[in-house]
């Protein structure tokens, strides 16, 4: 059984969309989306530097556009399940047929802008914990007032909070944690600090006409499969201020009988987690069109 997954913010790199523009129709599609959402996806995906595409308001639409373009390039594919990490959930919702591609781009544009505005209210950030026992680390984060914003499985936890709280964490690491690494992000995503973005996203969601998913959809909220389109959209709205439970998503993949995991462009992060947490499952990260033939072989073998 094949699971198709979409990465979240941080997966983007300068120029990562450049090779995809050589495929027929891709540039036209990106330019149409760019006009619709008021953001030049072609420029940011090809010529912008790392600092420019780190901007939340730019990175999020760019990632969803890349995920949809690379999925379309695979041709007809019906995975056993779909899921996305953080903003990748919007990509997954479009792949599952819950949202149209245009709806997905409109929603993610609102999401990126609203989260960037929320991040500007208080100086916050995120730090990754390397090593350690998850239970010990979670208890320590709670003591410091930090939120485990991403519980990614394979021993990976990302803490989020104010810069003062994160400085305290760097000085007082949980027992067993080798290192605390500050991440280059604009704010404490998936925490209460993003609550102002929820209202903006809820307002944008009123304009959507979600359909029930045609493919099994696994949610970041709790790793559960969700069968109603309206509930998926509600979860997309609330998730910006709540932790990503990718560990539970991978547990659900196992329960569903996953044998292969394909990560759409810009792939790499989620396949890395799967290699550690899902032993025996074949993985493939879709990075450039050169990976398409191998991806189609994987799809043929495991769909």
144 and 60, same domain (yes or no): no
Tell me, what CATH number does 28's domain have?
A: 3.40.366.10
pLDDT tens digits, 50-88: 999 999 999 999 999 999 999 999 998 899 999 999 999
Of 155, 182, 209, the last residue of a domain is 182
- Among 182, 201, 228, which residue terminates a domain? 182
What is the helix (H) or strand (E) element at residue 183, kind and residue range?
A: none
Compute the distance between CA of residue 115 and CA of residue 298 in angstroms, rounded to an integer: 36
User: 16 with 132, same domain?
Assistant: no
Does 174 share its domain with 202? no
* In contact, 212 and 231? CB cutoff 8 Å: no
The mean pLDDT value of the chain amounts to 96
Instruction: Looking at the structure, tell me whether residues 165 and 78 fall in a common domain.
Output: no
Confidence (pTM) = 0.95
Q: Residue 212 carries which DSSP code? A: P
CA distance linking residue 201 with residue 40, whole number of Å = 22
> 8 and 77: one domain?
yes
The predicted model gives 110-128 an average pLDDT of: 94
133 and 46, same structural domain?
no
What mean pLDDT is predicted for residues 231-242?
A: 97
Helices H, strands E: what count in the chain? 13, 10
Range of the domain at 197: 2-119+191-302
Contact 58, 14 (CB under 8 A): no
Paired residues of 282 in beta bridges: 260
pLDDT tens-digit series, residues 187-213: 999 999 999 999 999 999 999 999 999
How far is it, in rounded angstroms, from Cα 234 to Cα 107?
12
| Residues 175 and 108 placed together within one structural domain of the fold | no
Are both 213 and 168 inside the same structural domain?
no
CA-CA-CA-CA dihedral for 212, 214, 218, 220, to nearest 10: -50
Domain match, 221 and 98 both: yes
pLDDT bucket at 186, cuts 50 / 70 / 90? confident
The single residue listed with the structure tokens 């995906």 is: 45
Closest CA to 112 of 6, 37, 46, 28: 37
Q: Is 303 a catalytic residue?
A: no
86 is catalytic: yes
15 and 62 together in one domain: yes
> Per-residue pLDDT averaged across 247-274, rounded?
97
Q: Which of 34, 70, 86, 137 is catalytic?
A: 86
pLDDT at 256: 97
Mark which of 148, 182, 216 sits at the end of a domain.
Answer: 182
Count of structural domains, the chain: 2
51 and 141 share one domain: no
pLDDT tens-place string over residues 19-41 = 999 999 999 999 999 999 999 99
The catalytic residue among 190, 193, 219, 302 is 190
> Which pLDDT tens digit goes with each residue over 95-106?
999 999 999 999
Residue 113 and residue 9 share a domain: yes
């Amino acid at each position: 059984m094949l699971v198709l997954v979409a990465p979240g913010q941080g997966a983007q790199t300068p120029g990562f969309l450049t090779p995809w523009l050589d495929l027929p129709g891709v540039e036209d599609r990106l330019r149409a989306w760019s006009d619709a959402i008021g953001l030049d996806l072609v420029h940011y995906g090809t010529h912008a530097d790392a600092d420019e595409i780190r901007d939340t308001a730019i990175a999020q639409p760019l990632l969803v556009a890349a995920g949809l373009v690379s999925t379309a390039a695979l041709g007809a594919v019906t995975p056993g399940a779909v899921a996305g990490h953080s903003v990748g959930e919007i990509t997954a919702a479009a792949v599952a047929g819950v949202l149209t591609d245009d709806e997905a781009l409109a929603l993610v544009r609102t999401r990126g802008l609203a989260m960037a505005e929320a991040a500007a209210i208080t100086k916050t950030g995120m730090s990754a914990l390397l090593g350690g026992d998850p239970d010990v680390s979670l208890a320590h984060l709670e003591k410091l007032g930090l939120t485990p914003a991403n519980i990614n499985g394979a021993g990976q936890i990302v803490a989020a909070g104010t810069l003062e709280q994160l400085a305290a964490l760097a000085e007082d690491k949980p027992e067993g944690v080798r290192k605390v690494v500050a991440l280059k992000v604009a704010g404490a995503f998936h925490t209460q600090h993003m609550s102002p973005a929820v209202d903006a996203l809820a307002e944008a969601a009123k304009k959507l006409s979600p359909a029930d998913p045609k493919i099994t959809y696994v949610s970041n909220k709790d790793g559960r499969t969700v069968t109603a389109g309206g509930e998926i959209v509600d979860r997309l709205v609330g998730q910006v201020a709540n932790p990503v439970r990718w560990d539970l998503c991978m547990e659900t993949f196992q329960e569903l009988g996953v044998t292969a995991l394909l990560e759409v462009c810009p792939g790499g992060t989620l396949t890395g987690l799967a290699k550690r947490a899902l032993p025996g499952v074949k993985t493939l990260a879709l990075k450039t069109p050169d990976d398409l033939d191998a991806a189609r072989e994987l799809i043929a073998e495991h769909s």
